[in-house]
Amino acid sequence: MQRRDFLSGAGLAAVLPLGAAQAAPEALKQLPAIRWRLASSFPKSLDTIFGVSESLARRVAALTGERFQIRVFAAGELVPGLQVLDAVGNGTTECGHSAGYYYVGKNLALAFDCAVPFGLTARQQSAWMYAGGGLEALRTLYAKYGVLQFPGGNTGAQMGGWFRKRIKSLADLKGLKMRIPGIGGQIMAKLGVVPQTLPGADIYPALERGAIDAAEWVGPYDDEKLGFHKIAKHYYYPGWWEGGPQLAFYVNQAAWRALPEIYRQAFEAACAEANQLMLAQYDARNPPALLRLVGQGVQLHAYPKDVMLAARRATFELYEAEAATNPDFAAIYRPWKTFRDTAFQWFKVNEAAYANFNYFVK
């Protein structure tokens, strides 16, 4: 089966008994034709991230006999990329694809729907969301914004960014201008960095003319396309502020209530598929991209330990201070922290031993 056929749903008919493939659309003809619009926070150039919205739309259509259609719009086509939560909440559009940490200006607790520094890996985020109480806790928070959310993809641990000069200790960060948005930027500021928030397209020119000294984006596959390696040769890991950032599909609460139950089931299943698909694509595409970058002279470095330790200390000071004044944050942070600490205890026993032996022992 061709991969494209599989994603389009055309492949599904090929593996079903003939009768089943024909009977389902017949029954679905009794259901209303519904058209939704999906506002993505992302540009088409991020094919992996943007692409899962298109695969979601194709799967929903295929599962409903083409009765439930979702048209996908890139960032800026329907609404600006950072206004997707508002647009879905107020009904400007029925659904969207975005990242919770874009909206920390509304409530810092929304970042738990995506990534917080020194937080969960992609697998642990899925465990917390689907089986550890995370989804329920975050849905209580999102309800305040008129939105129902579903996990919608993960990049896996991101890289720690591109630097024009090597960073050998915490002192080397002092005064450095780095493109790093969100809570990661707030923590970097505590370490002496001057954080900048720039959209993807503006990073390369800023780095090229020396307006910034460093920049983080995603990981090898996406970073290679933006060409940072042509200017900054030092590529750091790990992206400790994004250990497993998860994106989300947002649905307007009233639009959701108006959907026939079978369409809700199709949408929810398609979200779960998209959530898995994005991580799989990154895990398949990042390894060869990293090899290509190293082949072009990129030097890989781990963040110095004093930087990591200072960043982690500053991070948990920030969480504790926020929990003391923000009840929404405290309500999610406290059980999240217990889940995280317990997960880390388990992962360091078995997963870490397996990884350490296989990755490092010759």
Closest to Ca ion by CB, 151 vs 182, is 182
Minimum CB distance to Ca ion, residue 216 (Å): 5
Minimum CB distance to Ca ion, residue 45 (Å): 15
What residues from 10 to 49 belong to the interface with Ca ion (CB under 5 A)? none
Read off the tokens for 154.
């993960």
Q: Which stretch binds Ca ion (CB under 5 A): 86-94, 156-164, 304-312, 318-326?
A: 156-164
3-state secondary structure of 35: strand
154 binds Ca ion per the rule CB under 5 A: no
Closest to Ca ion by CB, 112 vs 267, is 112
Q: Which stretch binds Ca ion (CB under 5 A): 135-143, 154-162, 248-256, 269-277?
A: 154-162
The HSE-up count of residue 168 (CA atoms within 13 Å, CB side) is: 0
Read off the tokens for 213.
């000294």
Minimum CB distance to Ca ion, residue 286 (Å): 13
Q: Which stretch binds Ca ion (CB under 5 A): 82-90, 150-158, 255-263, 326-334?
A: 150-158
Q: Which stretch binds Ca ion (CB under 5 A): 65-73, 85-93, 153-161, 348-356?
A: 153-161
Other C-beta atoms lying within 10 Å of the C-beta of residue 4: 9
Closest to Ca ion by CB, 94 vs 222, is 222
Give the pairing of strands 147-154 and 246-252: antiparallel
Minimum CB distance to Ca ion, residue 292 (Å): 20
Q: Counting every residue, how long is the chain?
A: 362
Minimum CB distance to Ca ion, residue 183 (Å): 11
Question: What are residue 299's DSSP bridge partners?
Answer: 234
Distance between CA 17 and CA 317 in Å, rounded?
58
Minimum CB distance to Ca ion, residue 52 (Å): 17
Q: DSSP string covering 240-302, please?
A: TT-SS-EEEEEEEHHHHHTS-HHHHHHHHHHHHHHHHHHHHHHHHHHHHHHHHHHHTT-EEEE
What residues from 157 to 196 belong to the interface with Ca ion (CB under 5 A)? 158
Minimum CB distance to Ca ion, residue 277 (Å): 20
Closest to Ca ion by CB, 59 vs 179, is 179
Distance between CA 140 and CA 355 in Å, rounded?
36
Closest to Ca ion by CB, 81 vs 132, is 81
Minimum CB distance to Ca ion, residue 160 (Å): 9
C-beta separation of 60 from 267 below 8 A: yes
Closest to Ca ion by CB, 55 vs 158, is 158
Q: DSSP string covering 154-209, please?
A: E--SPP-EEESS---SGGGGTT-EEE--HHHHHHHHHTT-EEE---HHHHHHHHHT
3-state secondary structure of 104: coil
Read off the tokens for 197.
């928030």
Taking the C-alpha atoms of 197, 203, 208 and 214 in order, what is their torsion angle to the nearest 10 degrees? Answer: 50
Closest to Ca ion by CB, 100 vs 146, is 100
Q: Which stretch binds Ca ion (CB under 5 A): 86-94, 121-129, 151-159, 263-271?
A: 151-159
Minimum CB distance to Ca ion, residue 61 (Å): 31
Minimum CB distance to Ca ion, residue 203 (Å): 11
Closest to Ca ion by CB, 121 vs 158, is 158
Closest to Ca ion by CB, 28 vs 122, is 122
> What's the farthest any 2 CA atoms get from each other in the chain?
69
Closest residue by beta carbon to Ca ion: 158
Question: Which residues are CB-neighbours of 190 under 8 A, at least 6 positions away?
Answer: 314, 318
Closest to Ca ion by CB, 48 vs 158, is 158
- Binding-residue total with Ca ion (CB under 5 A): 1
Place of tokens 């506002």: 39
146: DSSP letter? T
Note the residues at the interface with Ca ion (CB under 5 A).
Answer: 158
